[in-house]
Structure 1
Amino acid sequence: MDLPVVFISDAHLGVNTPFCVANREEKLVQFLNQLRGKISHLVIAGDLFEFWFEYRDYVCRNHFELYFSLRELVKSGVEVHLLQGNHDFAYEDFFPKTLGVQVHKQVILEVQGKRVLCCHGDGVAKSDKGYRVMRKILDFPLNRKLFKLIHPDWGMSLARFVGSSSRKAGETRVINMDEYLEWAGGAMKKNCCDYCVLGHHHIAGVWPVKNGVVASAGDWMKKLTYVQMEAGELALKDFL
């Protein structure tokens, strides 16, 4: 029998608000360490970090235990996939070259006799028009080069300030799950997939739709939840 596949999302490591689970990064490392040799794939469906930007000679030192855990997971034979989110879209080669972690905007896995479309889910909702424009600005190569000229400490501080401001603005936003489910159903049909796993909205669940099944692992901030695929079925689970 195939080993299970695990999906997590939206840890937003690097920020701690009053509603966050205490020591959640330490708990995440503990969770990853116990997966060695027990799963075939780990998919991190975006926003692992509150902010990520790679400089030539700089890596954020606050997450070394996490880096080590991911590297050891890869060395144990687990295929680890990290998806770009709307907070941590600026990955370059540190994760693939140093840790052996594969980085994607989206990926389709063929596991346990199923085709699984994995993506973060940012920008897919019809109400995200403003975000889609902003993302194009942030992704523009010249803007990336200009940001690299900022000292890493200043850049991280600026990004955290912008992130906290956008988080406060989004606290009153109503999530329309039908928009995500509609998009996922169409994406599964287009890509001939059975399942779609996404994140971004922080709502945990498994939803049967017309063209397959949609799942979200929720987040690793308020609740330490994850999705596990075993014997071709998706199930939502809690850590601790």
Structure 2
Amino acid sequence: MSLPAYFISDAHLGVNPPGAVPDREKALVRFLESITGKASHLVIVGDLFEFWYEYNDYVCRNHFDLFFAMRELVKSGCEVHLLQGNHDFAYGDFFPKTVGAQVHKELVLEIQGKRVYFRHGDGVAKSDFGYRLFRRILDFPLNRFLFRQIHPDWGMALARFVGRSSRKVGESRVIKMDEYLHWANRMLKKTGSSRCILGHHHVPGVWNVENGVVASAGDWMKKLTYIQMDAGELNLNEFRTLG
């Protein structure tokens, strides 16, 4: 019998906005420990961090316990995959080389006899046009090089300030789920998949569409929700062991 697979997204570790679950990174470490040796796959569907940038000799020490828990999960035989989000798209080789977690922009996996397509989901909605342009600017090689010249402490502080500002703007944005579901339905057909897992919009749920099933784990901020896949079925759960 196949082991279950787990999908989470949008933890935005590194910030504690109003309404966030206290010590949610510690809860995430406990969650990873609870599935170690009991999971075939863990896919983090983007925005694990509020901000991520790799320097040649610098990695944020605040997440050491998380790195260790992920490494132990990999050593137990679980495939761990990280998707780039709109907050943590600047991954380098730290996770593949040191932790053993693979990094992707999008991903297709065969799990429990089902073809599953993963994408964070930023830039999907028609209203994300301005963001798509901004992302191109941020991801331009020259701009990435210039940012690398900033001292890591200053760079992290600047990025968190920008992140807080963008979050305040985003709080008033209306989520149009029909746009995400329409796009996901097209991608199911395009990739020959029967399951599509998205993040980004922070809306937890499982939806049936014409070409398969679309699911989102919501976020690991205000509710510690995750998707568990058993025998091809997608189930939305909440991690409650916080003590």
- Structure 1-normalised TM-score? 0.99
| Matched residue type, 1:221 | M
Distance between the aligned counterparts of 1:24 and 1:32, measured in 2?
12
1:109 is paired with a residue of what secondary structure? strand
Cross-structure match for 2:154: 154
Residue deviations 1:143-181 (CA, integer Å, cap 9, x gap)? 100000000000000000000000001111100000000
Distance between the aligned counterparts of 2:65 and 2:202, measured in 1?
24
Cross-structure match for 1:37: 37
Distance between the aligned counterparts of 1:168 and 1:129, measured in 2?
18
Structure 1 residue runs of 4 or more that deviate by more than 3 Å after TM superposition: none
Distance between the aligned counterparts of 2:112 and 2:94, measured in 1?
30
Alpha-carbon distance, 1:78 to partner: 0.4
Distance between the aligned counterparts of 1:120 and 1:88, measured in 2?
11
Cross-structure match for 2:137: 137
Cross-structure match for 1:228: 228
Residue deviations 1:19-64 (CA, integer Å, cap 9, x gap)? 1001100000000001111110000000000000000000001000
Percent same amino acid among aligned pairs? 72
Alpha-carbon distance, 1:222 to partner: 0.2
Distance between the aligned counterparts of 1:18 and 1:129, measured in 2?
28
Distance between the aligned counterparts of 1:217 and 1:176, measured in 2?
17
Cross-structure match for 1:10: 10
Distance between the aligned counterparts of 1:18 and 1:102, measured in 2?
32
| Matched residue type, 1:47 | D
1:97 is paired with a residue of what secondary structure? helix
Aligned: 1:119 with 2:124: no
Cross-structure match for 1:68: 68
Distance between the aligned counterparts of 2:35 and 2:229, measured in 1?
14
Alpha-carbon distance, 1:18 to partner: 2.0
Cross-structure match for 1:176: 176
Distance between the aligned counterparts of 1:30 and 1:84, measured in 2?
23
Cross-structure match for 1:205: 205
Residue deviations 1:55-113 (CA, integer Å, cap 9, x gap)? 00000010000000000000010000000000000000000000000000010000111
Cross-structure match for 2:191: 191
Cross-structure match for 1:103: 103
Distance between the aligned counterparts of 1:18 and 1:134, measured in 2?
26
Alpha-carbon distance, 1:196 to partner: 0.3
1:98 is paired with a residue of what secondary structure? helix
Alpha-carbon distance, 1:126 to partner: 1.1
1:127 is paired with a residue of what secondary structure? helix
Distance between the aligned counterparts of 2:230 and 2:188, measured in 1?
20
Alpha-carbon distance, 1:127 to partner: 1.0
Alpha-carbon distance, 1:210 to partner: 0.7
- Structure 2-normalised TM-score? 0.98
Which ranges of structure 2 fall in alignment gaps of 5 or more residues? none
Please, what is the CA RMSD of the aligned residues? Answer: 0.5
Distance between the aligned counterparts of 1:183 and 1:17, measured in 2?
30
Alpha-carbon distance, 1:17 to partner: 1.5
Distance between the aligned counterparts of 1:235 and 1:226, measured in 2?
8
